[in-house]
Amino acid sequence: MSDIIHLLPDSVANQIAAGEVIQRPASCLKELVENSLDAGASHIRVIVRDAGRTLLQVVDDGKGMSPTDARMAFERHATSKISQASDLFQLRTMGFRGEALASICAVAHVELQTRRENDEVGTRIEIAGSQVINQEIVQCAAGTNIRVKNLFYNVPARRKFLKTDQTELRNLLTEYNRIVLVNPQVQFTFVSNDEILSDLAPCTLKQRIEAVFGHSSKHYTSHLVDVSTDTELVRISGFIGKPETVGKNSQQYMFVNGRYMRHSYFHKAIMTAYSGLLLPEHTPSYFLYFDIHPDAIDVNIHPTKTEIKFADEQAIFQILLAAVKEALGKFNVAPSLDFTSTTQLDIPAARTGAIPVQAPILQVDPNYDPFKTHTSRSNPVSSWEQLYEPIQSHMPGASTTVASSMLFDTPLISDSTPLLQCANRYILAPVEHGLMLIHQHRMHVAILYKELQEQLSQSQAITQPLLFPEIIELTYDDWQTLQTLLPDLERLGFTLDQFSPQAYTISAVPALLGQKNAVETLLQVIHDVQDTEESVENQWKETMTLCLARQMAIPQGKPLTDVEMRDLVNRFMTANLSRHLPNGQTIISILNNDDIQKRF
């Protein structure tokens, strides 16, 4: 038989890689404008037609490219910005991967005109589907002018995935704002279908914020107060909103070394500084700029993601908290300030105006009796009473005894051991010392929990594509939590793509999830993680896997066949698992022969 493995042609490899970098016109805009900034441009014009679908053009007056560089720029991993891995820790440019232009030209018709200031003539290159169609010498202005036409012309699936022009234009402007707000010294123009939507002269930071948001509420920046702190570790400057002006137009922006970022932990620091000053559902405006040595952050995450890892997050949390508190105090907007108080992390979920705030719906169970035991809920907190099972069972007169570890030294259940399901919840099995009582749901949770933990470290999840992708819409807080969880959720088999600023499409789920509702599952995971103690490192990973395992496990009340029961118990025994879940809940309990005898 002949060999079957071959290398993909560059055009195909680039098209696949493009899916990672260029997901919509907005990602294309980001890459092109960042290139212009890296080229030292002082005026950058963005021109779009049909929300970037038919044309996305970026014109800059930056340093331009030589004819050879202009050609090289479209090769994959071709960059002028780094040459060795260690350069990543000295990074002062936005780009470094050398992937953007190669990706864009794989999925669009691209026309580039570029000239360096001291060159007499410039270069014009036309590329489509990674193939150079034409290269010639031209007369053109110094700088770079790049036109991306018919985005995704050769990837119908991506094209179909694009939203209405209105939504895509909004995405473009969101991306544009994230860039203009951190580059006030640069002049920017945004033209859509021949209409100038934004024209920003070089100015100060505060003027730039006013220019971007002032149209929707006059004197926008008069509602802001200055934040400024300079420590050895980090310099933080910018503005925060006065608590009394929190309203619909509240905006949250954080940047590090000129890069827009999301950071839920730092967001929490800011919210903590405001605690007591705002209604729980309100989020203040902030525009905060972090300057830090490049070796203290890791920007080398997925190109489309905006989280950034900091080496010393806890110290920065404290610095930020103090800086925001000080700013609130200096402008006499905080009633009383206590700089020595420890941080309160468990603040209520904050929401922005992007998604209408709804009053919580309280469901009251009139039959609820707090002293009744045995309620089996999936929420670990609500089944608190079960945490005491092991202790109670040791008390005099208690009818059950916790299984001693020696019971596991001998195979407990042979093929001939009869298994009996009770109340569709428990599995009963006679063992040498008495009667083993198994909580079927928890036993399955324990098995799945271990499997998920293994998948997290090995990335070997089996995924199941959804026939109809689902959309998950999130509040700002939930969105931020999801950002933290995303890489791990993807490792566990979820495929999530940003759909709008605060919504994702879910196109695949872990196969183990079966028919469970993907949106509900993810929301549960997000909320469980939010309730996790932050101080314990990586605790949220445990919470996330445990929550997913609960969702995947056979539910309470499900009748099981003998084969299913046997399979469950065998898997548990073979994996040599603990008799308690990580949150302390009991999985197996033994009714001793002595205890049984006492009953008669």
Please list, residue by residue across 499-525, b when 16 or more beta carbons sit within 10 angstroms of its beta carbon and e when fewer do: bbbbebbbbbbbebbeeeebeebbbbb
Give the whole-angstrom CA distance, residue 370 versus residue 194.
66
**Is residue 442 within the footprint of ligand ADP (CB under 6 A)?**
no
Residue 83-102 contact track with Mg ion, rule CB under 5 A, x = bound: ------------x----x--
Q: Are 393 and 434 in contact (CB under 8 A)?
A: no
User: Contact with ligand ADP (CB under 6 A): which of 52, 62, 434, 510?
Assistant: 62
**Closest distance of CB 475 from ligand ADP, Å:** 33
**# of chain residues touching ligand ADP (CB under 6 A):** 23
Q: Work out whether the CA dihedral 474, 475, 478, 483 comes out positive or negative.
A: positive
Amino acid symbol at 242: K
Q: Which does 179 bind (CB under 5 to 8 A by kind): ligand ADP, Mg ion, none?
A: none
Which residues in the 32-71 window bind Mg ion by CB under 5 A? 35
Q: Of 29-37, 414-422, 506-514, 533-541, which segment contacts ligand ADP by CB under 6 A? A: 29-37
Closest to ligand ADP by CB, 21 or 316: 21
**Is residue 402 within the footprint of ligand ADP (CB under 6 A)?**
no
Give the whole-angstrom CA distance, residue 511 versus residue 463.
5
**Is residue 73 within the footprint of ligand ADP (CB under 6 A)?**
yes
Three-state DSSP state, 16: helix
- Paired sense of beta strands 109-115 and 122-128, if any: antiparallel
Q: Which does 221 bind (CB under 5 to 8 A by kind): ligand ADP, Mg ion, none?
A: none
Nearest to ligand ADP by Cβ — which residue?
Answer: 95
Q: Are 86 and 63 in contact (CB under 8 A)?
A: no
Give the whole-angstrom CA distance, residue 82 versus residue 379.
49
Closest to ligand ADP by CB, 30 or 325: 30
Q: Which does 80 bind (CB under 5 to 8 A by kind): Mg ion, ligand ADP, none?
A: ligand ADP
Q: How far from chain centre, in Å, is Cα 594?
A: 54
Closest to ligand ADP by CB, 60 or 168: 60
Closest to ligand ADP by CB, 143 or 510: 143
Q: Which does 79 bind (CB under 5 to 8 A by kind): Mg ion, ligand ADP, none?
A: ligand ADP
Residue 120-159 contact track with ligand ADP, rule CB under 6 A, x = bound: ------------------------x---------------
Ranges assigned E (strand) in 139-285 = 143-149, 187-192, 195-200, 224-230, 234-241, 252-256, 259-261
Strand pairing partners for 580?
A: 586
Give the whole-angstrom CA distance, residue 50 versus residue 450.
49
- Paired sense of beta strands 109-115 and 195-200, if any: unpaired
Q: Are 189 and 199 in contact (CB under 8 A)?
A: yes
**Closest distance of CB 374 from Mg ion, Å:** 60
Closest to Mg ion by CB, 144 or 251: 144
Residue 359-388 contact track with ligand ADP, rule CB under 6 A, x = bound: ------------------------------
What residues make contact with Mg ion under the rule CB under 5 A? Answer: 35, 95, 100
What residues make contact with ligand ADP under the rule CB under 6 A? Answer: 31, 35-36, 39, 60, 62-65, 73, 78-81, 95-102, 144
